[in-house]
Amino acid sequence: MRTEKEMFELILRYARENEDVRAVILNGSRANPNAKKDPFQDYDIVYLVTQMAPYKRNMEIVRYFGDILILQTPDDMGEGEHRDFDGYGYLMQFMDGTRIDLGFYPLEAAQTCVADSQTILLLDKDGRFGTLPPPSDHDYLPQKPTAKAFDDCCNEFWWVTPYVAKGLWRDELTYAKYMLDNVVRDQLMKMLTWYFGVKTDFQKSPGKQGKYLRGTLDEEDWAMLERTYADADPEHTWQALFVMGDLFRKVAQVVADSFGLAYPGQDDRNVSAFLRRIRDLPQDAETL
């Protein structure tokens, strides 16, 4: 795998060799001073150019940066959809393990491209940007919940959990797992993000999909979260569903107390009892 020094030299060399490229911007985790460094971090790079045409659908660009393992060009994806491109991107995973997410944008988009708090200016040929603020994860800090957002999260969580139970009772594994691991879990993760915010005074990012939660949640909370991930065994999925409810209840009550919000305890009790009734219902039952 190429070193960070080698990659930045390559990225800047391409910019210097192409007159159209007027500025180079680094975004993403490599521009986040609080992100843990590792060799698999992407290089999120923006080239600001004077004309876009030479930088669209140009495989010479891909070959310049290395031996490609797999390429994605998101702006070309879809079934013949017409797009008026403001920019064009190459997501490049290379054989040596490095990855560059490279976007070309017209100079007119310059201010939008540097608006993200995780931004480092690598090259500015024309001096158009001056001095940018030091990079930070400010734009990625969790936001305090409004009363409506909290209510909506609780309602969606308890509304959808019976879908999981009914899917399990019907032996519809793929449906039950989808509802548990996508729809219901999304609400759990939203609540955990607010809970994380309470514990960190909303001054720390939980990371994409909560990847930094483990360092802040206590051992009991983390152990409960681990137990919400089940295999394909229906009994294990039932157990995960009930643990998910226990964890949601626990952290939601902390969030509610922290902001003077009302946790819907009656919905919780009603739905939890309903789940247990479905869990104990014989497979040949015609009614509850």
Residue 218 buriedness (CB in 10 A; 0-12 / 13-18 / 19+): exposed
Tens of pLDDT, residue by residue over 153-181, are 999 999 999 999 999 999 999 999 999 99
Residue ranges and CATH numbers for the domains of the chain are 4-139 (3.30.460.10), 141-279 (1.20.120.330)
Tens of pLDDT, residue by residue over 115-168, are 999 999 999 999 999 999 999 888 889 999 999 999 999 999 999 999 999 999
Is it the case that residue 226 has pLDDT exceeding 90? yes
Task: Give the pLDDT confidence score for residue 81 in this predicted structure.
Answer: 61
pLDDT band at 84 (very low <50, low <70, confident <90, very high): low
Return the structure tokens found at 215. 């360092």
Task: Give the pLDDT confidence score for residue 158 in this predicted structure.
Answer: 98
Least confident of 30-39, 73-82, 170-179, 213-222: 73-82
pLDDT band at 36 (very low <50, low <70, confident <90, very high): confident
- Whether the pTM exceeds 0.85: the reply is yes
